[in-house]
Amino acid sequence: MIAIIDYGMGNLHSVSKAVERLGYEAVITADPTTISGASGAILPGVGAYGDAMQNLRETGLDEVAKRYAASGKPMLGICLGMQLLFSESAEYGQNEGLDLLPGEVIRFSGNYKIPHMGWNKLSFREQNSPLFKGLTEGHVYFVHSFHAKPKAESDLLATTDYYGPVTAIVGRNNVYGMQFHPEKSGELGMALLGNFLTLTGSPKGLTTTSL
C-alpha cells in the first residue's frame, strides 16, 4: 500500500488516481500509523512553502515524514513536496524545511517569464538511477516559480533547461523528488512514477481508498 500524505495542501486526488491507474493500492491519509506501515510514501504539494511546513509541523507530520525517510522505505516528493525535502526555502521569507536533502529552494531570477510553466525535456544525469530503468529522456510538465539547489551534486538525478539548468529530479538513498507533476506529464511522467512504485515492492491490482 502507498501512503499519500495529507497535510492539507496538495494535488492528492490526481496523485492517487495516477497510482490507481498504475495498478497500486493507495490511501490518502494523515494517520501516522497508516503512513509508517505503508510500503511507500508520497508527499505531494501545491502552494506556498511556509504554509506547507506550518501545516506539517502543526499536525506532527514533519516528524512522521522524517521517521519514514529514516526507515529506508521509498519516499517521493512531488512539486512543492519535492522542495519540502530540502533544508530551507526563500519563499516569502526564510523557511526551514524537512532537511532530508541538504540544499535550498530559491526563486527564479532573470528577464524571462516566471513561473516556469509548460513542457520541458529532462536530461538524465544519473543513468543508473532505478527511476530511469527502461526509459529515455523526454518532456514533462512543470509549473513553479521556485527551484531547488541541491548542496550535493550526487543528489541531482535529472535537470531541465529553463534559461539555465534547473533541478528536475533528485534522490538520495530511498528519498526521491520530482519538481514536475508526473501524473500530468504523459507517458514519461507515468513511467517515472511507475518505476518509483516498483521500488516499494507493493503488490499491484488493488484500488484507491481514502482515510
Rounded to whole angstroms, how far apart are CA atoms 196 and 190? 10
130-170: pLDDT as tens digits: 999 999 999 999 999 999 999 999 999 999 999 999 999 99
CA atoms of 4 and 154, how far apart (whole Å): 26
The β-bridge relationship of strands 156-161 and 165-172 is antiparallel
The pLDDT of residue 11: 79
- What's the DSSP call for residue 75? E
Q: What is the pLDDT of residues 58-67, one digit of tens each?
A: 999 999 999 9
DSSP string of 123-191, one letter each residue: EES-TT-GGGTT----EEEEEESEEEEESSGGGEEEEEESSSEEEEEEEETTEEEESS-GGGSHHHHHH
Amino acid identity at 124: F
Q: Which residues are bridge partners to 77 per DSSP?
A: 43, 177
- What is d(CA 61, CA 109) in angstroms, rounded to the nearest whole number? 32
* 26-84: pLDDT as tens digits: 999 999 999 999 999 999 988 899 999 999 999 999 999 999 999 999 999 999 999 99
Domains within the chain, CATH numbers bracketed: 2-210 (3.40.50.880)
Q: Which residues contact 199 (CB under 8 A, 6 or more apart)?
A: 40, 74, 130, 174
Helix (H, G, I), strand (E, B), or coil: what is residue 199?
Answer: helix
The pTM for the full model equals: 0.94
Q: Which residues are the active-site residues?
A: 79, 181, 183
pLDDT tens string 89-140: 999 889 999 999 999 999 999 999 999 999 999 999 988 999 999 999 999 9
Q: Are 100 and 88 in contact (CB under 8 A)?
A: no
